[in-house]
Amino acid sequence: VINPLGFPIDGKAKINKGKLMPLEKIAAGVVEREPVNTPLKTGIKAIDSMFPIGRGQRELIIGDRGLGKTAVAVDAIINQKHQPKGRKRVVCVYVAIGQKQSSVAQVVDKLKQEEAFSYTIVVASPASDPASLQYLAPYAGSAIAEYFLEKGEDVLIIYDDLTKHAWAYRELSLVLRRPAGREAYPGDIFYLHSRLLERAVRLNKKNGDGSITALPIIETQANDIS
């Protein structure tokens, strides 16, 4: 469990040797990609049968609070423990943005109980963190995912949730005296999120055959999905 700057916040040893990865990176182009062709099972039969998710895909989880969006995401992480024969392992990155520390601790505890930490990294920037750190959290998660992508691994990344990321970005924008535009969010928040999700990719054999699958979570207010 680390913060967006890469410092462990669960009492584990500091990471001394590491590779520097850019937080912002231009996503892989069409030539480097290939069509999504390998399934990524979430472990929830209704989802896997009706909306099959492939490795390298982006699938939004959207709904009001208390519906179990995080539960779906955590189940998907736990389910990656058992891969069918011949399938590569899936490294999981769970990014917690602007949540209560107790909520993050519950998720971490659940993952520990299910022994999912042998392949899972949690990037946590709780509500007590400054807005600037919360803003960086998803990019830090994405950079970690790209580190494994370069090694040819399959990665599942969960952004929980991008609503709070938008709040943090709004706070930063107001401090920088950039007034919020549409729907009281800065206008470029949409560009920010599309740029972030575009980094989820399925690379072809020539480029290492890795993939990043993204499950972004958006929390709506009273069913308002506009």
More confident residue, 183 or 53: 53
Q: 67 — alpha (psi -120 to 50), left (phi > 0) or beta?
A: alpha
- pLDDT for 224 equals 83
The confidence score (pLDDT) of residue 86 equals: 86
CA–CA dist 53, 36 (Å, integer): 9
pTM: 0.95
State pLDDT tens for residues 40-89. Answer: 999 999 999 999 999 999 999 999 999 999 999 999 999 999 888 888 99
| pLDDT score of 36 more than 90 | yes
Percent of the chain with pLDDT over 90: 87
